[in-house]
Structure 1
Amino acid sequence: MPELPEVETTRRGIAPHLLGATIAALEIRQPRLRWPVPTQLPETLPGQVIRAVRRRGKYLLLGTDAGTLILHLGMSGSLRLTPPDSPWRKHDHFALRLTTGLGLRYHDPRRFGCLLWTETAPEQHPLLAALGPEPLEPAFTGGYLHAHARGRRMAVKSFLMDSRIVVGIGNIYANEALFRAGIAPNRPAGRISLRRYEHLAQAVRTVLAASINQGGTTLRDFVDAAGNPGYFRQTLQVYGRAGEPCPVCGTGIRVQRLGQRATYWCPQCQR
């Protein structure tokens, strides 16, 4: 599933081509995504200039004078830039065409993504209003995590993946950050010291930044706007490595289901 680094990689890939461009048309092949594509969009968007290409958590926000498009890649979605008359592929569901002839096409075999529209501030939209801080911005600190974890019995991995606490940290990066911080994923969130949360916040920032620099992680479906896979998979230290030796101590990496997600950790290095 595309997580923050994959969405940020997509944003960086499309922004230079979209900023300041005028929308010529929105062509919809499949309106039934996670939520139905608003029926008025093909009439609303033509002639609008794209003023901003932003990311909030795992959502992409394309701002115009009339409103903002809210896009989510779902579990298997990707956006790619296409030349004029590029053939449609199976599972291509909509295309935003620019007056330059370039297209932005959404591909999603599982159809769990979305294309929505808001005429108010996107931060007030129900999908975004309750989101926590961005993990790469100053508000995300060890002190912030420690304060919000106080009294919580839930596993720290589930706590870290709660978008109301902090946005964008999906399963892959929660596993990797907890390993780097030396924290067992099943440890109760409220029983972790401030010092250890400071290490965890830094580990989250390090892992996310490294993945962005390598174009994200491709396990199955993800490609960037140019059709390239992400290469962070080659540097994963625990995720997907059950039974392999820990890169630090050599102990076999363990895996279990935690919060219905595969959880990988080293029983020697993580306490």
Structure 2
Amino acid sequence: MAYSFSPLIKRGDSPIVLAQPHGGTDVPLSIWDRFNKVGQALADTDWHINRLYDGLLESASVIQTPMHRYVIDANRDPAGASLYPGQNTTTLCPLTDFDGRPIYRDGQEPSEDEVDARRAEFHAPYHDAIAEELERVRQKFGVAILYDCHSIRSNVPFLFEGELPVFNIGTNVGQTCAPLIEAITVDSCRQNESVETVVNARFKGGWTTRHYGQPETGVHAIQMETAQRAYMFEQSPWAYAPERALTTRATLKTILTKLEAQALSGVFASARTSR
């Protein structure tokens, strides 16, 4: 029986759209059987990302893909171009995990034709859903803010040196959203001085943020990469830590609430029309 795929969509009544491309753990059996033990561990999942954000802004739209990033990475350029030229990263259909270890059994890696098929079957529908929701929201409110939700282990030497700060904000160096959106997000994170926050450092915003973030059209995008130690345990079985998550959720709620209030005030639509 063929795998039946569709993105998970919750349509809200807010200018805010939450995208969650890496929280899914679905793998079609025809691919699962070709993974080695490293691949089948699914260690690079954005574990519990939906739970982390659940209920923080009830009015927000939420778009998720149930498909695991090892099948296809929904936050990569569909053309296969690297997000970070010259740096270690994973590809549209990854061949390694975040530690640089192969995830397929020898000789079982996807062909170019298979990559094309996965792009059409899994990548395109997720982004069609995002594009449709952003346009619906923009038409209703005059502005749409795509908030791309991510998390990652705190220590991944293959991708970055040292321990990752808790909050890693990406706007492609200010190109994907109005300055006020970045400022609200940064200032909210930095209210807790004990938690390190960085902007446009290792994670400047993935393909989703860069593709949809077009402030001149009324569509803004920002990426939040959260170190997983801030809300869960970073080893198998990857358990959620509710007490640890409380402070992190409070910060994220502040961000989303403030962004929604500013969007509803018309400040971003006014800025666009005044140019």
TM over 0.5: no
Whose strand proportion is higher, 1 or 2? Answer: 1
Larger Rg: 1
TM-score, normalised relative to structure 1: 0.26
TM-score, normalised relative to structure 2: 0.26
Q: Which has the higher contact order (CA 8 A, sep 6+)?
A: 2
